[in-house]
Amino acid sequence: MKTKCLMPRHLFIILAVALGASAAWAIDAAQVPEAKRTPLGLYLTARETADMKNQLGDKALFVDVRSRAEATFLGMPSTADALIPAQDFSGETTVYDERAQTFALEANLDFVSQFDALLKAKGLGTNDTIIVMCRSGGRSATAVALLAKYGYTKVYTMVDGYEGDPVRQGPQAGQRVLNGWRVEGLPWSYRLPRDKVLLKP
């Protein structure tokens, strides 16, 4: 006795394509440095992020979690839906990190509530596709771990970030010219739309 497929053919094709695309986007966790790994194990490169956002559109949320200063002076992806700093500079910026030899960033205590509000505004939920991006994949991994604790289940971290990883040796040592959103030539702008950067909990 033959059983009939209850799923219409066109829906089956769409599902197959979606699953195939999802598999193509996924990076093997073994290729990701330990410092950039997350509890959810979902990783994308900058190029894959652009492709996923282009294909899924408003069904995927793409969030820049760098500081406001970084977005101001370095720009942000044109296709990002919002800037929600996971960490930011304090008003006085007086805390100096001796080890890193730079001013320290402080945790954004409203980070999760701002994410929740953005999801609600976009008509999305904690099980929908979300991509987070920082400078080079470290802070975005931390952001994913925090969101996972609050029930978010499908958050990708962009492992090469906006500026990319620094060169380790040679005349360009320390420069971020290996990978990342800008190095890949993906669309970005210094313009920061008000509705993307002034979010409230």
Per DSSP, the residues of 105-142 read PEE-TTHHHHHHHHHHHHT--TTSEEEEE-SSSHHHHH
pLDDT of residue 5: 44
CA 47, 38, 147, 152 torsion-angle sign? positive
CA 107, 113, 119, 124 torsion-angle sign? positive
Ordered by where they begin, the domains of the chain are 29-197 (3.40.250.10)
CB 147 within 8 A of CB 28: no
In this prediction, the residues of the chain whose per-residue pLDDT falls under 50 are 1-23
pLDDT of residue 94: 66
pLDDT of residue 21: 45
pLDDT of residue 168: 79
pLDDT of residue 177: 63
